[in-house]
Structure 1
Amino acid sequence: MSANVTIVIPARFASQRYPGKPLAELTGCTGEAKSLIRRSWEAAQRVSGVSRVLVATDSPEIVEASTAFGAEVIDTSSSCRNGTERCAEVLEGLSEEPDLVVNLQGDAPLTPAWFVEGLIEAMLADPDLAVATPVVRVGRDLHAKLEADERKGIVGGTFAVATAAGRAHYFSKRMIPHFDIGRIDGDQLPLFLHIGLYAYRPAALRAYAAAQPSELEQLEGLEQLRFLDLGMPIRIVEVASPDWEIWELNNPSDIPHIEKALQIMGVE
């Protein structure tokens, strides 16, 4: 089933945790350094079944850098409080409304194409779904690294807990749920790392933009919690883990992890 799918890459220069991070350079497998925003755009270009890829920003620096490498850029207002609001603003400015809007956040350049394609497939298979987002199951090695970061006060990821039917209970920057790892056999743990990626129907974006930020959204710093507080369920889609570790660029210390993954991916 074909559909009009638009990927929006929201990006802002004035990140509180890492100012200017969309222009931070990451070295690929050939030794070439490219900006974070360019690598996120290139990740979006690898997704099949997409009609359009847009960079959405209020930053002249990001507009200039993105235009230079050939991206289509939409200038959005500085009043957008997060990427979902920026996607909603982009939606209102499009001459043709897409069937789905995919938010591939500008700090997640390691997102495999099949993550996005899995979300699109899930949304098209169930017209009643308003929002969907992917997770990967965490293995022991990644758990140890995330736990070490947490002890240092470093935010190493976002975690999701879902019902048996795949609807989100909650998202947190703390590792949830709590469990005793010593009582679990095998490598795969009951811990799901949330990926910075969403698929929305236009109506869901409009409802989100019309609402005020919720208390939990502001406390956790997680935009998706507004949907849950509005009573709009989020479908959690478990996707197959790639051969590389998924790291978002939240802190300068994340750069070596991302560059290692780019090596494994064979991305120039």
Structure 2
Amino acid sequence: MSVLIVIPARYASTRYPGKPLVGLTGASGTSQTLIERSWLAACEVTGVDRVVVATDDARIRDAAQGFGAEVVMTSEDCQNGTERCAEAHAALGGGFDIIVNLQGDAPLTPHWFVEDLIAGLNAGAAAQVATPVLRCDGRALNGFLDDRRAGRVGGTTAVFTADRHALYFSKEVIPFTPDRYADDADTPVFHHVGVYAYRPEALAAYPGWAAGPLERLEGLEQLRFLEQGHTILCVEVQARGRQFWELNNPQDVPRIEAMMAEMGME
């Protein structure tokens, strides 16, 4: 089984322009860009044959090549990371059994999230797409609720069937929960971890489908698969004491840096 990790990165983010080049300072006081920290996280994943950064921006290309990453230039027409991954895989000549989309805004993604995701897709013979979900503790859920009350769009939540097939993903907090929780409490809400694993046929088909109304409303690329009637396997992953958060807004920078300091991440 051959595995490719693609880190899609664009400069012109609507919510946070230039986000991949934002510096994040670790526990030692060392600052590295978001794209470099995401690449370092990808390089920790075992069982991977190749890791590339896919971008349409020369500034990101130059920065990525500067810290040693392989870069695939893609077109400005890509609507989202999945389309960019499809274009990058094609540009590399295809041939990989599993392509992982490790989005460049999740530097806290531990290697076992991706390893468990790859194993889950490999074991699910009927599955064409898989994505990790992480049960929120009270601290994470309260962060979601605080963002929404402040009018910010933070992370994404997921609901799924008993056999782990996705029912829906939303930037709202689903299922509805009226209460705040103690920081260390288990909650009924699952945080969708923004990583995807695709079989090549599903990835190649994706750019040919028009974005549906739910994808356009939520701004969530994975909803295109659901709107086209395709199953997404949700693979539950375990935090193992690690904190997880994506960098969606400028306000997330100090939040992530505080988590890095707390976990002793350089």
Shared fold by TM > 0.5? yes
Are 2:236 and 1:238 aligned?
yes
Change (3 A) 1:58 1:188: same
Q: CA RMSD in A?
A: 1.6
What residue ranges of structure 2 are gaps of 5+ in the alignment? none
Report Cα offsets for 1:204-247 as digits up to 9, x if no partner. 01111111111110110000000001111000011102423311
The count of corresponding residues between Structure 1 and Structure 2 is 265
What is the alpha-carbon distance in structure 2 between the residues aligned to residue 101 and residue 27 of structure 1?
30
**Closer, same or farther: CA 183–110 of 1 in aligned 2, 3 Å:** closer
Contact 1:99-1:201 at 8 Å conserved across structures = yes
Give the secondary structure class of the aligned counterpart of 1:252: coil
Equivalent residue number for residue 99 of structure 2: 101
Task: Give the match for residue 164 of structure 1.
Answer: 162
Matched letter for residue 236 of structure 1: C
Q: Does the 8 Å contact 2:23/2:33 carry over to 1?
A: yes
Kept after mapping to 2: 8 A contact 1:243/1:264: no
What does residue 147 of structure 1 align with? 145
Q: Equivalent residues in 2 for 1:33-182 (5 A)?
A: 33-181=31-179
Change (3 A) 1:183 1:80: closer
CA drift of 1:182 comes to 7.9
TM-score under structure 2 length normalisation:
0.96
Q: Identical aligned pairs, as a percentage?
A: 53
Tell me, yes or no, if the aligned pair for 1:38 and 1:69 is still in contact at 8 Å: yes
Q: Distance in 2 between matches of 1:267 and 1:180?
A: 34
In the TM superposition, residue 135 of structure 1 has moved relative to its aligned partner by 0.8
- Work out the CA distance in 2 between the residues paired with 1:182 and 1:221: 26
Q: CA deviation at 1:5?
A: 0.3
Q: How far, CA to CA, are the matches of 2:154 and 2:61 in structure 1?
A: 28
Q: Residue 203 of structure 1: SS of its match in structure 2? A: helix
- Give the Å deviation of 1:95: 2.8
Give the unaligned 5+ runs of structure 1: none
2:41 maps to a residue whose letter is A
| Cα shift at 1:96 | 4.7
Regions of 4+ moved over 4 Å? none
The answer (yes or no) to whether the contact 2:158–2:191 under 8 Å persists in 1 is yes
Q: Supply the distance in 1 between the matched residues of 2:140 and 2:194 (Cα, whole angstroms).
A: 17
Query: How big is each residue's C-alpha offset from its partner over 1:11-66, in whole Å with a ceiling of 9 and x where there is no partner?
Result: 00000000000000000121110000000000000000000000000000000000
Q: Could you tell me the TM-score, scaled by structure 1's length?
A: 0.95
